[in-house]
């Protein structure tokens, strides 16, 4: 094993965290779909897929390092939301927690002089900046456009457009 047991545990915990994020966004997508927010549903189905790719990245890294990834059970996600805005606030909180966990891993890698893991985590550090900005930008739309039915419909359309474009930017 090319990494320490402590690093291995942190990375495995991160596998679980990314799996939880994927499951949480899947539940959000489903809620949006049944609530009539089709654009937001597409957007969150896409977010869910993205979190799965993050999870896979870490699994492959662990296995490549001879550390062997462990796949743990995840908690059932929240399946019901009061509003689209509330849902996106929860998504932002999720991302903030993920950022914190990644920064903690970077601290460990630095302390242990684990250059490989440090380099591996750099992608995640940058990704988290984008992830938080993404949801902050969506939340800003509620202040800019409004919270009535027409405004929410407009925001749903913006998310639909974002889901249809390959990059991560919100229009």
Provide the phi-psi class of 129: left if phi over 0, else alpha when psi is between -120 and 50, else beta. Answer: alpha
Nearer to Fe ion, 53 or 153 (CB): 53
Nearer to Fe ion by Cβ, of 34 and 129: the residue is: 129
Q: Shortest distance, CB of residue 92 to Fe ion, whole angstroms?
A: 10
Query: Helices (H) and strands (E) in the chain — how many of each?
Result: 5, 0
Minimum distance of Fe ion from residue 170's CB (angstroms): 14
Shorter beta-carbon distance to Fe ion: residue 131 or 156: 131
Mapped onto helix, strand or coil, the DSSP state of residue 170 is: coil
The residue (of 125 and 145) whose beta carbon lies closer to Fe ion is: 125
Cα distances (angstroms) measured from residue 134 to each of 34, 108, 125? 23, 27, 15
Least separation in angstroms between CB 84 and Fe ion: 18
Element spanning 105, H or E: helix 84-111
Q: How far is the CB of 27 from Fe ion (least distance, A)?
A: 15
Residue 136 CB, nearest distance to Fe ion (Å)? 13
Residue-wise over 58-95: b if at least 16 C-beta within 10 A, else e?
A: bbebbeebebebeeeebeebeeebeebbebbbbbbebb
Nearer to Fe ion, 55 or 65 (CB): 55
The residues binding Fe ion (CB under 5 A) are 18, 51, 54, 131
């Amino acid at each position: 094993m090319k990494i320490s047991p402590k690093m291995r545990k942190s990375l495995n915990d991160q596998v679980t965290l990314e799996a939880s994020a994927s499951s949480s966004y899947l539940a959000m997508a489903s809620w949006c779909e049944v609530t009539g927010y089709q654009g937001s549903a597409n957007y969150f189905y896409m977010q869910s897929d993205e979190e799965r790719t993050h999870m896979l990245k870490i699994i492959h890294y662990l296995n490549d390092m001879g550390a062997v990834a462990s796949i743990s059970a995840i908690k059932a996600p929240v399946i019901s939301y009061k509003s689209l805005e509330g849902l996106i606030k929860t998504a932002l909180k999720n991302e903030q927690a993920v950022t914190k966990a990644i920064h903690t891993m970077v601290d460990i890698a630095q302390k242990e002089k684990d250059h490989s893991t440090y380099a591996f985590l750099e992608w995640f550090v940058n990704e988290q900046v984008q992830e938080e900005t993404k949801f902050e930008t969506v939340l800003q739309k509620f202040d800019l456009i409004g919270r009535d039915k027409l405004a929410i419909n407009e925001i749903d359309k913006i998310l639909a457009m974002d889901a249809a474009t390959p990059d991560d930017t919100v229009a």
